[in-house]
Amino acid sequence: MIPELGHFALVLALVVAVVQGVVPMIGAWRGDIAWMSAGRSAAYLQLIFVAGAFFALMHAYVTSDFTVHNVAINSHSAQPMLYKVTSVWGNHEGSMVLWVLILALFGAAVAGFGRNLPPTLRARVLSVQAWIAVGFLSFSLFTSNPFARVFPPPLDGRDLNPLLQDPGLAFHPPMLYLGYVGFSIAFSFAIAALIEGRVDAAWARWVRPWTLAAWCFLTAGIVLGSWWAYYELGWGGWWFWDPVENVSFMPWLMGTALLHSAIVVERRNALKAWTILLAILTFSLSLIGTFIVRSGLLSSVHAFATDPERGMFILLLLGITIGGSLILFAVRAPALQPGGLFAPVSREGALVLNNLLLSVACATVFLGTLYPLFLEAFTGDKVSVGPPFYNRTFVPIMVPVIAAMALGPMMSWKRADLAGVLSRLKLALGAAILAVLIAYTQQGGAILPVLAMGLAAWLFTGSVVEWGGRVKLFRAPLADSLHRARHLPRAAHGTALAHAGLAIAMAGIVAASNWKDEAVQVLRPGETVELAGYRYRLEGVEQGQGPNYTIDRARLTVTTAEGEFVTLLDPEKRLYPVRAMPTTEAAIHTTGMADLYAVIGDADGQGGWTVRIFHEPMVPWIWAGSLIMILGGLISLSDRRLRVGAPARRRKTPAAAAPARA
């Protein structure tokens, strides 16, 4: 009964979405307050119905109702309860319901928290959001119904793919969807602005919090996915430039550009058309990503098993949404009033540079991802594009971005004193040289990674120096600095944290990619292998049993080369009998500066086991840096100015007023 109620709720949501898409839009056009406020009620209703459908599906999973086809092929009665719940989105149909749920969630959030928005803008935003919902609800109902029944019901399910039975991966899809479905709000704002024919500072002020929230979630989602790949796949790798990874990365790059571009619209009323285009493109990339993953066009470990019919439907949705919005842009954007002028060397100029480079970087990732398909259409040749391409194109483009990031926040609007900014960054230059020297003496070898470490140190120190300058650190009494810090707009703290976090993550990425070490050996119990100053001794391998899998568990004792005890590692090999799938569980010990990573392979039949040890330098810094980035974003999000929509009234401080730079 409950699956049918869920199905009905989904249908009701579609009907409500149609109403929400039509009535407020007409109301905004005619100036009818009642019709415009219908948008808010409709958004709440839509959320209730989609949530109802989602929880009905979850109920079917939790109770292991194998008469529902989706549950039968993706779940199993012996699964731990956590994975019964996360199986809801571990497949195509269920994840589409999650997709639409988050769309409805953001729509309701705009209806609820957007009280300071002008009614016409809010009505149009909710309508556009509803159009997207209509598209994807139709997709779900007509091609990917999660509530289809199966008769006769099987005795037990086919189990969730064992790779997905993992806490990290359980939460990776919801985070990702909160991210790139969250960018739908920026898209809706952009379309609403184009329809209204007006983009101004207020619009940018209203669009930023939603974009920032989506950005934080997307960062978290990508990092979760990377971290999962790192500890689950057993090769110590965390980024493979797989097409599906790329389609989550591209909205992130564009979203970052959008965040920064919106600042220029807000402060200087410039770059309007470009910001609108970015908002459209960011969500368009999310949609293209959804298409690529579910259409079967590109083969990838991530791709859901789907058929071309679904691909056609999504392609139609894409055509209408992206094509329509870009044509609307072509028609309406030229009429937008151009804004303030600025010199090339200025904060606006730096932000334009940031945008330009990030867009080019995104374009190279896009090209690399879709080039094989494009080439095959024209010549029939099949090629694959992998890390060598991205290392040669993406990495060099990011270098000036990182270098400029230290300068940008210190530059003033309209016209900046570049020499003055550079002289204030002498400390950052010193730190960069120091880092280069340390890296060179520690690692030697190739010069580029060493220089990259210097670049990371430059950015980190530059961010700290900028923040320190705002609070007059070491130049005024400490109490004064603390007072200033408390009264700085939170976005200032957020900026410094986010930029510094990126620097830390970048250092980790450079080190992990270039100075990784590996040893593979067949060991008998009692034998050792040495790697990077650590000694690993295999104590033995024992058999065990999990809830729905069997285990081979090894025990390794890790000591330093001098014999000092470090830790015990227990890598596992599991076999999930229902799907006859083996997985490896790596054992990882982090020293803060590096990860000691052990994987157990096959037995050689004579008492020996294949043991793989990886020495991963500075990988923990990648996760730590990313968390700091997300923290910076969240702190910025809590800035009073973004919530109230008006500048915070600043109490008069005793020190002389610093020129407003926030």
Kindly list the residues in this chain that would bind other proteins in the complex (CB under 8 A). Answer: 273, 277, 280-281, 284, 288, 291, 295-299, 308, 311-312, 315, 318-319, 322-323, 326-327, 329-330, 333-334, 370, 373-374, 376-377, 382
Complex with other proteins: residue 341 or 655, whichever CB lies closer: 341
| Beta carbon nearer to other proteins, 194 or 554 | 194
Q: Cβ of residue 397: shortest distance to other proteins, in angstroms?
A: 19
Q: Smallest gap, in angstroms, from Cβ of residue 441 to other proteins?
A: 42
CB of 361 to other proteins, least distance (A): 17
Least separation in angstroms between residue 284's CB and other proteins is 8
334 vs 563 by CB, closer to other proteins: 334
* Residues in a beta bridge with 568: 557
Q: How many helices (H) and strands (E) does the chain have?
A: 22, 10
Taking the complex as a whole, the smallest distance from the CB of residue 155 to other proteins amounts, in Å, to 27
Q: In the structure encoding, which two tokens stand for residue 116, read together?
A: 């300071």
What residue type is assigned to position 199 of the chain? V
Cβ 22 vs Cβ 39: under 8 Å: no
Q: How far is CA 120 from the centre of its chain?
A: 31
When the beta carbons of 134 and 322 are compared against other proteins, the nearer one is: 322
Q: How would you write 584-651 as a 3-class SS string? A: EECEEEECCCEEEEEEEEEECCCCCEEEEEEEEECHHHHHHHHHHHHHHHHHHHCCHHHHHCCCCCCC
Residue closer to other proteins, measured from CB, 312 or 561: 312
- Name every residue whose Cβ is closer than 8 Å to that of residue 600 and which is 6 or more positions away in sequence: 541, 552, 554, 571, 572, 573, 584, 609, 610, 611, 612
Instruction: Determine the longest span between alpha carbons in the chain, in angstroms.
Output: 83
Cβ nearer to other proteins, comparing 318 with 395: 318
Of the pair 143, 219, the CB lying nearest other proteins is at 143
**Residue with Cβ nearer other proteins (190 or 598):** 190
Residue 338 C-beta: closest distance to other proteins, Å: 11
Nearer to other proteins, 328 or 353 (CB): 328
Q: What is the DSSP letter of 516?
A: -
Between 296 and 645, name the residue whose CB sits nearer to other proteins. Answer: 296
Q: Are 599 and 571 in contact (CB under 8 A)?
A: yes
CA atoms within 13 A on the CB side of 397: 20
Minimum CB distance to other proteins, residue 328 (Å): 9
Least Cβ distance, residue 331 to other proteins (angstroms): 8
Whole-number Å distance between alpha carbons of 196 and 25: 11
Residue with Cβ nearer other proteins (323 or 396): 323
Q: How far is the CB of 180 from other proteins (least distance, A)?
A: 18
Reduced to 3 states (helix: H, G, I; strand: E, B; else coil), residue 148 is coil
What DSSP assignment string belongs to 188-223?
Answer: HHHHHHHHHT---HHHHHHHHHHHHHHHHHHHHHHH
By CB neighbour count within 10 A (0-12 exposed, 13-18 middle, 19+ buried), where does 10 fall?
Answer: buried
Q: How far is the CB of 321 from other proteins (least distance, A)?
A: 10
Instruction: Find the shortest distance in angstroms from Cβ 276 to other proteins.
Output: 10
In this complex, which beta carbon is closest to other proteins, that of residue 369 or of residue 626?
369
Q: At what angle do helices 92-113 and 183-196 cross, to 10 degrees?
A: 50
**Does residue 396 contact residue 417 with C-beta atoms inside 8 Å?**
no
Query: Could you tell me which of 154, 145, 171 has the C-alpha nearest to residue 83?
Result: 171
Q: Shortest gap between Cβ of 295 and other proteins (angstroms)?
A: 7
From the CB of 254, what's the least distance to other proteins, in Å? 12
- Given the complex with other proteins, which of 281 and 416 has the nearer CB atom? 281
d(C-alpha 662, C-alpha 55), whole Å: 44
Cβ at position 288, least distance to other proteins in Å: 8
Reduce the secondary structure of 471-501 to three states and give it as a string: CCCCCCCHHHHHHHHHHCCHHHHHHHHHHHH
Q: What is the distance of C-alpha 493 from the center of its chain?
A: 21
Min dist CB 57 to other proteins, Å, is 28
Residue 588: HSE in the Cβ half-sphere, 13 Å Cα cutoff: 23
Contacts of 395 (CB under 8 A, 6+ apart): none
Q: Which is nearer to other proteins, 109 or 363 (CB)?
A: 363
Strand partners, 544: 551
Closer to other proteins by Cβ: residue 197 or 319: 319
Q: Which of 70, 82, 125 is nearest to 103 (CA)?
A: 125
651 dihedral zone (left: phi>0; alpha: psi -120 to 50; beta): beta
